[in-house]
Amino acid sequence: MVGRTTVVIAHRLSTIRNADTIAVVDGGRIVETGTHEQLMANPYSAYSSLIQLQEAAQLQHKPSLSDSASITRPLSFKYSRELSGRTSMGASFRSDKDSISRYGGAGEAHDEVRKGKPVSMKKLYSMVRPDWFFGLSGTISAFVAGSQMPLFALGVTQALVSYYMGWETTKLEVRKIAVLFCCGAVLTVVFHVIEHLSFGIMGERLTLRVREKMFSAILRNEIGWFDDTSNTSAMLSSRLEADATLVRTIVVDRSTILLQNVGMIVTSLIIAFILNWRITLVVLATYPLMVSGHISEKMFMKGYGGNLGKSYLKANMLAAEAVSNIRTVAAFCSEEKVIKLYADELREPSKRSFRRGQGAGLFYGVSQFFLFSSYALALWYGSVLMSKELASFKSVMKSFMVLIVTALAMGETLAMAPDIIKGNQMASSVFEILDRKTDVRIDTGEDIKRVEGLIELRGIEFRYPSRPDVTVFKGLDLLMKAGKSMALVGMSGSGKSTVLSLILRFYDPIAGRVLIDGKDVKKLKLKCLRKHIGLVQQEPALFATTIYDNILYGKDGATEAEVVEAAKLANAHSFISSLPEGYKTKVGERGVQLSGGQKQRIAIARAIVKDPAILLLDEATSALDVESERVVQQALNRVMRNRTTVMVAHRLSTVKNADVISVLQDGKIIEQGAHQHLIEDKNGAYHKLVSLQQQQQMQTQQSSSEDI
């Protein structure tokens, strides 16, 4: 930095104390400038407040869990970040390793999920058992439709042979064959319609059945299963869409071709053996060459270029990184260098593709040599039989034409084998979901009719399944009295929301017990437990349906009167009634048609429509503006009466009236008591949190008045 003009963007303010000038930016404006000493001289300045925030965070963040990694983000004090309206970026650039995981790892992980142990055909076909009637009619029709080709070859050969007979005989034979072809065409249409209609119905029903079973199995899984990166909403949606279609392709679509080919082969062999068994046996002996030739042709034509996706992986990653970090590339004038690197990465895949093309052409030529050699052998042996008067020209030609059709059908059938095997491996992901045994049983356990609301967390030790090396709680004890309210406050990552997840039994603790009315939640029927608990989250999840249906999700079989009463308690009835369609108003995707406050009040109504004994509020007002917060807070104050309420709070002004306030730090309770009691301790963590928020609010008000 010596002798250079240096601009530093800093999150840790201790690193810029020696800067010649410090500029504090807020709301897109420079609000303060000066040296460190000049800015610190005013204890109410924005810079001074930021220093105090970081020092308070450092004082509070003293790791007490020595055997585990920190559960908080370094200096990521939630109140500081959200109140100042700023978000610090952890890093500007990604390493090569990160890049590979971002652009290559996801696809490879997805392939690993999908390419599992092959599924037996018996297991696959068991899924279409309910539609056996359509399968039977489709199979019979496929056999009949498949027999048309050898019969057609037989008819064409007969027509050709008839031209070597007398004119009258030729006319009679050709007329007869033409009539038979017309009748065959009609029958072919009929049987193809029956075949595709039967298999089409069976395929659609199979797709529906697989998707319903997969979706049901997905919803049965514990919450921790969804924390796995291979079980994100995008990947599960993709699997619901693609895997069901894949199962249909394997079981139904390919079966259609397979059954037609089987019908064709059986019919051809029967006809050929009846016509001339000698030439049939000789031609069958050449089938390995003929079939291998046809399979090679199919495989080479299908995969001439090969799957070079992995070969181009590095080039794709390089291009993606160049685009995502275009500012860095432009800042260092590295455009030409990146282009050269990209060209170098393409060179090896291009050579590999060229070599593969040469190999494909060579083997395709060899396969064609075997194919036509087999034809030559069959015709030569036919001439030998004719010379010895063991076969006629007509029988030789008919047998030859019919057997060629059989060879092509057999080759096409065997060429499908790799695709079927690969498809079976891909379909294993369906049965991984369907056959998975979840750790949580929804319908087993003790049924509880009434809940008082006494909650106790006793000796809780917990780690998230997705982060087994990070201890969230170690020996946490917490008691919440029935009918009282408790607020959980603390810095980001202290475990506030985790407490709510344990009460709802989204997760089970590694050690310790979660008790409701003295009963371990593990021994209670999960459905019954959650019927007595209402949850309101920071971001309300509304479904793309009507307001009425969204509230109705809270309780199965709720009456209209109960829905309206819940809306009134949630301060939502008045605004709902003012809408043109009232409770029948569509809220749109994720509730986009409503404001934040309106969505939150509907979420509150949904939570209390079942009249829960326990109410969990996870930062229910932190994302709202002042006016919306006031209205929602009024609704919360109303519905909290006579209920055990556990609230996770960001704005500490909303928890002043809580019966008990618990301050969490590093997964432990460090302070507990009423607001008045905690605020009197000037050195307490709660007092510091309140003071910091008040200072930040004053700063915001001053900035607003200056803008005006």
pTM for the complete prediction?
0.65
- How far is 548 from 584, CA to CA, in rounded Å? 6
The band of 98, judged by pLDDT with boundaries at 50, 70 and 90, is very low
**In the structure encoding, which two tokens stand for residue 391, read together?**
């076969």
Question: Hey, is 542 helix, strand or coil?
Answer: coil
To the nearest 10°, the Cα dihedral for 684, 686, 691, 696? 140
- How far is 70 from 88, CA to CA, in rounded Å? 19
- How far is 297 from 306, CA to CA, in rounded Å? 14
Question: Hey, is 187 helix, strand or coil?
Answer: helix
- How far is 385 from 281, CA to CA, in rounded Å? 13
Range 451-480 average pLDDT: 87
Do 460 and 485 meet the contact criterion of CB atoms below 8 Å apart? Answer: no
- How far is 574 from 595, CA to CA, in rounded Å? 15
Q: Burial of 606 by CB count in 10 Å (0-12 exposed, 13-18 middle, 19+ buried)?
A: buried
Range 427-445 average pLDDT: 77
Share of the chain above pLDDT 70, in %: 81
pLDDT tens digit sequence for 478-521: 898 888 889 888 877 778 888 988 998 888 888 889 999 888 88
Q: What pairing do the DSSP bridges indicate for beta strands 644-648 and 29-34?
A: unpaired
- How far is 54 from 47, CA to CA, in rounded Å? 11
Residue 194 predicted with pLDDT over 90: yes
The band of 71, judged by pLDDT with boundaries at 50, 70 and 90, is very low
Residue 419 predicted with pLDDT over 80: no
- How far is 561 from 50, CA to CA, in rounded Å? 51
DSSP bridge partners of 673? 661
pLDDT tens digit sequence for 75-89: 333 333 333 333 333
Written as one string, the DSSP assignment of 569-624 is HTT-HHHHHHSTTGGG-B--GGGTTS-HHHHHHHHHHHHHTT--SEEEEESTTTTS
Range 365-373 average pLDDT: 78
Residue 436 predicted with pLDDT over 80: yes
Helix H, strand E, coil C: the string for 346-376 is HHHHHHHHHHHHHHHHHHHHHHHHHHHHHHH
Range 353-363 average pLDDT: 74
Q: Which helix (H) or strand (E) holds 188?
A: helix 167-220
Residue 610 predicted with pLDDT over 80: yes
313 DSSP 8-state letter:
H
State the number of CA atoms in the 13 A half-sphere of 250 facing the CB. Answer: 30
Q: What mean pLDDT, rounded, does the chain reach?
A: 78
Burial letters 276-291, b for 16+ CB under 10 A, else e: bebbbebbbebeebbb
pLDDT tens digit sequence for 34-59: 888 888 888 777 788 787 777 665 55
Residue type, 543: F
439 DSSP 8-state letter:
S
The band of 422, judged by pLDDT with boundaries at 50, 70 and 90, is low
Residue type, 60: Q
pLDDT at 642: 81
Range 54-74 average pLDDT: 45
Range 375-391 average pLDDT: 88
Residue 392, Ramachandran bin (φ over 0: left; ψ between -120 and 50: alpha; else beta): beta
Number of other CB atoms surrounding residue 70 within 10 Å: 13
Q: Burial of 124 by CB count in 10 Å (0-12 exposed, 13-18 middle, 19+ buried)?
A: buried
Residue 473 predicted with pLDDT over 70: yes
Residue 183 predicted with pLDDT over 70: yes
The band of 294, judged by pLDDT with boundaries at 50, 70 and 90, is low
Range 143-160 average pLDDT: 87
**In the structure encoding, which two tokens stand for residue 179, read together?**
């009539």
Residues 6+ apart with CB under 8 A from 474: 65, 68, 461, 667, 668
Question: Hey, is 629 helix, strand or coil?
Answer: helix
pLDDT at 67: 40
Range 184-206 average pLDDT: 91
* More confident of the two residues 707 and 175: 175
Burial letters 181-190, b for 16+ CB under 10 A, else e: eeebeeebee
pLDDT tens digit sequence for 663-696: 888 888 888 888 888 888 877 888 878 877 777 6
Residue type, 595: S
- How far is 363 from 304, CA to CA, in rounded Å? 11
The band of 182, judged by pLDDT with boundaries at 50, 70 and 90, is very high
φ/ψ (deg, to 5) at 668 = -135, 155
- How far is 56 from 665, CA to CA, in rounded Å? 13
**For the sheet containing 511-516, what is the strand order?**
471-480, 455-463, 511-516, 519-520
φ/ψ (deg, to 5) at 4 = -125, 150
Q: Which spans in 303-334 are helix H?
A: 313-324, 326-331
Residues 6+ apart with CB under 8 A from 340: none
- How far is 287 from 408, CA to CA, in rounded Å? 10
Residue 184 predicted with pLDDT over 70: yes
Range 4-26 average pLDDT: 83
- How far is 573 from 638, CA to CA, in rounded Å? 14
**In the structure encoding, which two tokens stand for residue 10, read together?**
């800093």
**In the structure encoding, which two tokens stand for residue 563, read together?**
């829905």
Residue appearing with tokens 């008082």 = 452
pLDDT tens digit sequence for 327-336: 888 888 888 8
The band of 118, judged by pLDDT with boundaries at 50, 70 and 90, is low
Q: How far apart are the first and last CA of the chain?
A: 39
62 DSSP 8-state letter:
-
DSSP bridge partners of 514? 457
pLDDT at 186: 93
- How far is 659 from 678, CA to CA, in rounded Å? 12
Number of other CB atoms surrounding residue 55 within 10 Å: 13
φ/ψ (deg, to 5) at 642 = 60, 25
Most confident of 184-198, 279-293, 340-354, 551-565: 184-198
pLDDT at 83: 31
Residue 702 predicted with pLDDT over 80: no
Share of the chain above pLDDT 90, in %: 5
Measured CA distances, 568 to 187, 462, 563, 606 (Å): 68, 39, 9, 12
DSSP bridge partners of 644? 614
- How far is 605 from 576, CA to CA, in rounded Å? 12
- How far is 115 from 705, CA to CA, in rounded Å? 62
